[in-house]
A and B are shown apart, each in its own frame.
Chain A
Amino acid sequence: MTTPKTTPEVGGMGHSIKRKEDPRFIRGKGTYVDDVVLPGMLYLDIVRSPHAHAKIVKIDTAKATAVPGVLAVITGADLAKYNLHWMPTLMSDTQMVLPVEKVMYQAQEVAAVLATTRYAAADGAAAVDVEYEPLPAVVSPQKALEPGAPVLRTDKKDKKDNHIWHWEWGDRAATDRAFAEAEVTVKEQIYIPRIHVASIETCGCVAHFDKVNDKLTVWMTTQAPHAIRTVFALVAGHVGLAEHKIRIISPDIGGGFGGKVPVYPGYVIAVAASVLTGKPVKWIEDRMENLQADSFARDYHITAELAAKKDGTLTALRIKTLADHGYTDAAANPSKFPAGLFHVCTGSYDLKAAHVEVDGAYTNKPPGGIAYRCSFRVTEAVHTIERMVDIMAHQLGQDPADFRKKNFIKPEQFPYKSALGWEYDSGNYAGALDKAMQMIGYAELKREQAEKRKRGELMGIGISSFTEIVGAGPSKHFDILGLKMFDSCEIRVHPTGKAIARFGTKSQGQGHETTYAQILAEELGIPAADIQVEEGDTDTAPYGLGTYASRSTPVAGAAAAIASRKILDKARKIAAHLLEAAPEDLVYEPGKFSVKGAPNRSKTIQDCAFAAYTNHPQGMEAGLEAVSYYDPPNLTYPFGSYICVVDIDKGTGEVKVRRFVAIDDCGNIINPMIVQGQVHGGLTMGLAPALLEEISYDEHGNVQGGSFIDYLLPTAMETPKWETGHTITPSPHHPIGAKGIGESATVGAPAAIANAVVDALWHLGVRHVDIPITPPKVWKLLRENGVTE
């Protein structure tokens, strides 16, 4: 770690200052959405479909409306009167709010019950009688694309199949040529299963339409309050909801990880119910609703091929993918990229040719395709390349570490233009891998493994040297529903030298109140303790696209630095006025301007702030404020190398992660304590899909993994004691050289674990195992390959 520029009292970058958020959270004094209670508030509960695909014959609400406390049952037909029964998705597809004709997945919203209490609403939901006529469910995306498969989207007039889109990127001819000329090729089918972020707080809202002032306020579990406001205004403009009359408040959020980006039907129904009744309406989903109906992540069926020379030089990558999107494309990708940033799949390697194709398919499953703590399909990309590189290394009989180092993009190649068109900003991949190997004692582990193998014990060592792509994104290429993906910071310095800073993002546990204050402290020299950070209220915060895809530090963090520098420009003029010197004759160090050559003639930032309101120069506007809407010139490319050691129980098939070393490089570090915490959490959300989590469906479209009984989150027992470290390779284009860290570990960890398992089993003939690597799966593999006890 480089020495911090500021004192611990100022608490700029590099200081592990304690979090500003914590005093309220450890006292149970946070305010989450379900803590919001308004006078006269009503409760909404949702009736959901037991069928994956069915025609709705009749919805009988008589028994439900007879339940004491139930005020109304809202159906698709009710919303259709206002043309609110369908809404657009973020990918410009369409999604039902409530169905009129048919349901498309199990647990889909069918009707909503409005009641005076939570319990009455639930009673009412149980009493709604829905008659269905089941239709054949299309569960597998492969079958969905077969000729003659039932067409699911009968709402789309000209739709004759279940194919959503085809997308491809790269030079097909060059890639095919490279494969034709290749000395060695490997090919693998990799399924990256459907999983769910399962933040411990589920989703919900309190919608309050004030009929007197025509103002709608929605407290909402959203990672992107400003975009949500605009979406509401666009969707419901025709019923009188104008954007200046909509206020979205995203209060404390109990974890987001991407699951709180989309607009779910429950939000919209609650808003509609409040607008119709003029009363506040609360909707909070339960865990089963959350797992079964909210946006899923991943579900990519990948066929990958890698080509190399005999000496182990990688030459080309070719990927075909089938993406199961459920019944609508409700992913949350930038508009131009239907498969997100999947085409960062050449990873950390200097591949000269690559081509990637993705086809989206409709099935009778809930929609999604959102992130699971990752930037737009980056985990899918990293998992594929890291598995394939490992397979190739083993195939050639080369050490996976040496093999990676041979093929890494070298430090002197940055900025590096990848075969698929990305410009990597900076990196030192071998540096991170060397550090990880040293920390874990790689050579010694290899010796131990060789000895154990002689004794028939199964031990594996797995490496993942990933490159992320975060900080979306430059406005030239990145927008969501047309909204450019800038982000913002507005700073007001008060007369006494304290400040407030507001942002277009929204923390869900990342600690923005602390880290953003540290960026300001670094730039302005105002102690972080004197800086209040606010986010999440669209009436007060500047417009921004929100927090997901590790974009807060790369984009809004950059805005914080740029807005601070605007403040300093004005403060410099004020200091010059106070010191009776020319602005260009002043020297700045954090928090202080002094006259060149006369260091004792100086003014602090606090002096300048006071003067901005009490003694500002004639001809200058009073006050000390600035705003920045930062449009990043490029994405940032955090990276790292992880090494995992597993022991496999031959009797049970259980995979035990014995050690896991993670070396991350996120550029310059704002708060080392928080960075380490983000890596710990990210690693655990990497372990989870690698070993435990999957949401699957039977042939009728019945969900499996729809509650915490069978969707297994890691507990403290399964989670290893993470060993972390870092290297620092600043981003050359980011104002403070930072890159983003929230998701690196989730992106990089699964491949390290999977590679370790395959490494333990390769000599038995195992070439690949899909995640989650559960004991039954491994047990079966062992038996198939002749291993008994």
Chain B
Amino acid sequence: MNVQVTINGEKLSADVEPRLLLVHLIREVFRLTGTHIGCDTTHCGACTVLLDGRPVKSCTMFAVQAHNREIQTVEGLEQNGALHPLQEGFIAEHGLQCGYCTPGMLMTSKAFLDKHPSPSEDDIRWAISGNLCRCTGYVNIVKAVQHAAAKLRAAVPAGGAR
């Protein structure tokens, strides 16, 4: 089957088996290997990408379900050589260690902050609870998201929407 998607703003298409998983389309067909696989059962979130702005676990979706839709992956976060505030936050707050869960954490956090610019710590913990990290103990990931939230708020005029 032919599947057409926009990934990080670029229109791409491929002929795929109907059963091909979205994560394999992204990783193996389009060679965007920042999206990782950790469990195959939707539990760990290492494969999280944004589908039309909403976080999905790409290990449990078929590629064809993304047909004519827009996908954002970790590779699309950096814009014109500038890191996304979340990427800056993860570095500044030591929000990553082995880096394997990080792309999924970043994408989940991005979708969350897009809708919740001033989250509480509990809100953030709830938002990332579908993404497992074995290294950091989450404390610094929460701080990294708070770091990004503050930076994003500062960049948006009062009352402005993103």
A contacts, CB < 8 Å to B: 18-19, 21-32, 34-35, 37, 118-119, 197-202, 252-255, 257, 286-288, 508-511, 673-674, 676-677, 680-685, 707-709, 713, 715-717, 719, 721-722
Contacts and interface: CB of A to CB of B under 8 A. Distances in A.
Nearest to B78: A27
Interface string B61-80: 00000000000011101100
Contacts of A709: 41, 43
A22 B125 contact: no
B96 A508 contact: no
Contacts of A37: 28, 31
Contacts of A680: 136-140
Interface in B113-158: 121, 124-126, 128-142
Nearest to B92: A18
Given A201-B100, A509-B99, A708-B44, A28 B134 contact: no
B60 interface: no
A683 B40 contact: no
B46 interface: yes
Given A28-B103, A680-B137, A509 B40 contact: no
B38 A681 contact: no
Given A22-B90, A255-B98, A684-B138, A28 B35 contact: yes
A32 B40 CA distance: 17
Contacts of B19: 119
Interface of B: 17, 19-20, 24, 27-28, 31-41, 43-44, 46, 73-75, 77-78, 83, 87, 90-92, 94, 96-103, 106, 121, 124-126, 128-142
Contact of A287 (B40, B131, B136): B40
B91 A19 contact: yes
Given A510-B97, A681-B134, A717-B125, A27 B139 contact: no
Contacts of A508: 98
Contacts of B43: 708-709
A677 B74 contact: no
B94 A19 contact: yes
Contacts, number: 171
A287 B99 contact: no
Contacts of A31: 33
B92 to A, nearest CB: 7
B35 A32 contact: no
B136 A681 contact: yes
Given A27-B87, A709-B43, 4 more contacts: A254-B36, A286-B39, A684-B137, A713-B44
B99 A254 contact: yes
A681 B137 CA distance: 4
A200 B100 contact: yes
B18 to A, nearest CB: 11
A677 B140 contact: yes
Nearest to A507: B98
Determine which residue in B75, B92, B96, B128 has the highest number of CB atoms from chain A within 10 A of its CB, and name it: B96
4 residue pairs, one from A and one from B, having the closest CB atoms: A28-B34, A509-B98, A254-B100, A25-B99
Contacts of B77: 27
Contact of A200 (B44, B83, B91, B130): B44
A63 B90 CA distance: 50
Contacts of A119: 17, 19-20
A511 B99 CA distance: 10
B63 to A, nearest CB: 12
26 contacts: A19-B91, A25-B99, A27-B74, A27-B77, A27-B87, A28-B32, A34-B36, A118-B24, A197-B134, A199-B134, A200-B36, A200-B38, A200-B132, A200-B133, A255-B98, A255-B135, A257-B134, A287-B44, A509-B135, A674-B94, A708-B41, A713-B44, A713-B132, A716-B138, A717-B129, A719-B139
Contact of A27 (B46, B75, B92): B75
B41 A707 contact: yes
A25 B135 CA distance: 14
A715 B142 CA distance: 12
